[in-house]
Chains A and B, each alone.
Chain A
Amino acid sequence: MSYYVPVIVLGGLAAFFAIFSLVMGALSGPKRWNRAKLEAYECGIEPTRQPAGIRFPVKYYLTAMLFIVFDIEIIFLYPWAVAFDRLGVFGLVEMVTFVATVLVAYAYVWRRGGLEWD
């Protein structure tokens, strides 16, 4: 049970911070209501409506997808880096295989123009 104490403490801290921020914001912050503030997804400006049926570029999705691929790669690299001496040659071979497959995907994106913004 004692192993869960840090988790519970961390959860308590997180909950305290969330509640504290909301309460303090509501109590001490200035309140100046306007149209932008009352939007469902408020970000400080009033949204402009797009004309229906037009296509607009969403180039960032490729960058985002690539980021996720490398993010996952790092997640797998961490535990390997901690225990690479005990995993030995097997671990090295498997990790090189894994990194190489990700590299292939990267080469494909690069060669097919996925990294060009315009």
Chain B
Amino acid sequence: MTGSFAALAPVIPTPHIEYGQLSPMLLVFGAAIVGVLVEAFAPRSLRRSLHLALTLGSLAGAFVLTIVIATSSTLFAGGSAGHIAAMGAVAVDRPTLFIQGTILVLAFISVLLIAESSHDVSAFAAQAAAVPGSPEEREGLLAGISHTEVYPLTLFAIGGMLLFPASNDLLTMFVALEVLSLPLYLLSGLARRRRLLSQEAAMKYFLLGAFSSAFFLFGIAMLYGFSGSVKLGAIAAAASGNTASSVLLYAGIALIGVGLLFKIGAVPFQSWKPDVYQGSPTPVTALMASCTLVSAFGALLRVFYVAFGQLTWDWRPAMWAVAIVTMLGGAIIAITQTDVKRLLAYSSIAQAGYILTGVIAATTAGLSSSMFYLAAYGIATIGAFAIVTLIRDPGGEAGHLSSWAGLGKRSPLVAGTFAFFLIAFAGIPLTSGFSSKFAVFQAAAASGGLPLVIIGVISSAIIAFPYVRVIVLMFFSEPAPDGPIVVRPSAYTSLAVGVGVLATLVLGFIPEPLLRLAHDAAAQLFVR
């Protein structure tokens, strides 16, 4: 009996892993594991500085490794689009390396915000397990401690974000999705102030995230049923040679799409975004609004360009509908917001809609403009959230817009910087917001998406209204007598804001270098 089984078992080739090509991810995950050891063995007084050196060092090292891989002559020799490493699980190609580089830069700046500790002990709770308002909580606050697990958790999340857009099979992609999501669920519940709001955010994010993961997983099952493989290339091959019923295929596309669009926060899967962005500690919100968005769009681009690349005519109508309601919904609901973090959340929803118009193009121009948009928007949004951490009242951050009244008169530099970011989000010329919107709308129009572009421009005009209202509120209304204080930022936050302003200006005036880099990276689309 055993003999017959052994005879039938296929010969499994000895697996091998290209450690060099995966080194950026391995470095980040390795640093996260070392971070857990730091948490276990280092004395409390040393932990923060050790974590900080480890986290920033590994992110910088991973970025250097990414550049080394991208410039290596062997990987892309003879016009090769890239290489599929780790037995078909991970794709190493130029768009992926561009997206990973973007994530690493944005993560580095976000970690600077996470490390900020001058104007409070930190943004994170002393003891997340203590009941809000309990004696244990007061004890922890008086001791001046805060959770340093934040750093390894952030690194785990970033490692997952690096793997998510690089996954070449759907199961690896699902594992990466969980690796990036689970630490984020935890991190969003760790706010030092307004802890109930933070815990509510974590709970909502977890429940809805688990729900979307289930959709994603069900989609994988459908596509496996259709094609007999979870590899993106095999699914594409099965789809192009398909003549029989494609119910499984379309159900799979729809379910996978729901899972990915949830992470992006596209309408109608956006309901978690304002609550989670508002309740999470602001540095974590900055991380989610930049890195998670880039990573999720990277994965969306890969799945829809590689696996469903020949089915453009099938998924385009649905994506059109999603992009239209995302652009309009995000912009219109943004008008009614009274909390600055919720306003930025709806702004992020609308921006996701603009990037979707680039995704829908399904051309090299669509890919390159989406990647450029993600880089430009990510860096500006971190800067905007960094400003939010500076405006404080006795209860923590002063999120309500009424307390931002007259800020321009008391603190013109901070208010001016925030106004600059809002102008960039609105897409006014000479900011990165204009050049990136121009790029995606151009790509969309070139591939028959002119109605989308028109709706995008209308949406931009609508969402300019809440932005201008905040600017008017800051500069042309009287400050409230008991208004919030503007804390002096330490080097970390100043650096994050400074990089945001500089990048937004430079990419507005001379976008060509980064645009060309994105264009070169996208020239051959993804490796199959």
Q: How far apart sit A86 and B39, CA to CA, in the bound complex (Å)? A: 38
Q: How far apart sit A87 and B16, CA to CA, in the bound complex (Å)? A: 10
Q: Does A23 contact B (CB under 8 A)?
A: no
Inter-subunit contact A107/B40 (CB<8 Å): yes
Inter-subunit contact B14/A87 (CB<8 Å): yes
* Minimum Cβ distance to chain A for residue B368 (Å): 36
Q: Which residues of the partner chain B approach A110 to less than 8 Å between Cβ atoms? A: 40
Cβ proximity bits A72-108 to B, threshold 8 Å, 1 near / 0 not: 0000000000000011101000100000010011011
Chain B residue nearest in CB terms to A86: B14
Inter-subunit contact A104/B36 (CB<8 Å): yes
Inter-subunit contact B36/A105 (CB<8 Å): yes
Question: In terms of DSSP, what is the predominant structure of the interface of chain B?
Answer: helix
Q: How many residues belonging to B are interface residues under a CB distance threshold of 8 Å?
A: 12
CB contact between A112 and one of B5, B15, B40, B131 (< 8 Å): that residue: B40
Q: Does B105 contact A (CB under 8 A)?
A: no
Q: Which residues of the partner chain A approach B16 to less than 8 Å between Cβ atoms? A: 90
Inter-subunit contact A88/B14 (CB<8 Å): yes
* Minimum Cβ distance to chain A for residue B34 (Å): 8
Given A111-B40, A111-B41, A112-B40, A104–B33 Cβ distance below 8 Å? yes
Cβ proximity bits B14-39 to A, threshold 8 Å, 1 near / 0 not: 11110000000000000001001101
Q: How far apart sit A110 and B16, CA to CA, in the bound complex (Å)? A: 34
Inter-subunit contact A108/B39 (CB<8 Å): yes
CB contact between A108 and one of B14, B15, B17, B36 (< 8 Å): that residue: B36
Q: How far apart sit A104 and B41, CA to CA, in the bound complex (Å)? A: 11
Q: How far apart sit A12 and B178, CA to CA, in the bound complex (Å)? A: 38
Q: Which residues of the partner chain B approach A94 to less than 8 Å between Cβ atoms? A: 17
* Minimum Cβ distance to chain A for residue B236 (Å): 29
* Minimum Cβ distance to chain A for residue B285 (Å): 27
Q: How far apart sit A72 and B16, CA to CA, in the bound complex (Å)? A: 23
Q: Which residues of the partner chain A approach B33 to less than 8 Å between Cβ atoms? A: 101, 104
Chain A residue nearest in CB terms to B39: A108
CB contact between A107 and one of B5, B14, B17, B37 (< 8 Å): that residue: B37
Q: How far apart sit A88 and B41, CA to CA, in the bound complex (Å)? A: 34
Q: How far apart sit A59 and B15, CA to CA, in the bound complex (Å)? A: 41
Chain A residue nearest in CB terms to B15: A90
Inter-subunit contact B14/A104 (CB<8 Å): no
Cβ proximity bits B115-134 to A, threshold 8 Å, 1 near / 0 not: 00000000000000001000
Q: Which residues of the partner chain A approach B17 to less than 8 Å between Cβ atoms? A: 90, 94
Q: How far apart sit A110 and B33, CA to CA, in the bound complex (Å)? A: 15
Q: Which residues of the partner chain A approach B15 to less than 8 Å between Cβ atoms? A: 87, 90
* Minimum Cβ distance to chain B for residue A104 (Å): 5
* Minimum Cβ distance to chain A for residue B190 (Å): 16
Q: Which residues of the partner chain A approach B41 to less than 8 Å between Cβ atoms? A: 107, 111
Q: Which residues of the partner chain A approach B37 to less than 8 Å between Cβ atoms? A: 104, 107-108
Inter-subunit contact A90/B14 (CB<8 Å): yes
Q: How far apart sit A87 and B41, CA to CA, in the bound complex (Å)? A: 34
Q: How far apart sit A108 and B37, CA to CA, in the bound complex (Å)? A: 7
Cβ proximity bits B36-59 to A, threshold 8 Å, 1 near / 0 not: 110111000000000000000000
Q: Which residues of the partner chain B approach A104 to less than 8 Å between Cβ atoms? A: 33, 36-37, 40
* Minimum Cβ distance to chain A for residue B29 (Å): 9
* Minimum Cβ distance to chain A for residue B15 (Å): 7
Cβ proximity bits B433-476 to A, threshold 8 Å, 1 near / 0 not: 00000000000000000000000000000000000000000000
Chain B residue nearest in CB terms to A6: B1
Q: How far apart sit A77 and B487, CA to CA, in the bound complex (Å)? A: 54
* Minimum Cβ distance to chain A for residue B130 (Å): 11
A90-B16, A90-B17, A104-B36 known; 10 other A-B pairs, CB under 8 Å?
A3-B5, A90-B15, A101-B33, A107-B36, A107-B41, A108-B36, A108-B40, A111-B40, A111-B41, A112-B39
A-B contact pairs, 22 of them (CB 8 A): A3-B5, A55-B131, A86-B14, A87-B14, A87-B15, A88-B14, A90-B14, A90-B15, A94-B17, A101-B33, A104-B33, A104-B36, A105-B36, A107-B41, A108-B36, A108-B37, A108-B39, A108-B40, A110-B40, A111-B40, A111-B41, A112-B39
Q: Which 5 A-B pairs have the closest CB atoms?
A: A111-B40, A108-B40, A107-B40, A108-B36, A104-B33
Chain A residues with a Cβ under 8 A of chain B: 3, 55, 86-88, 90, 94, 101, 104-105, 107-108, 110-112
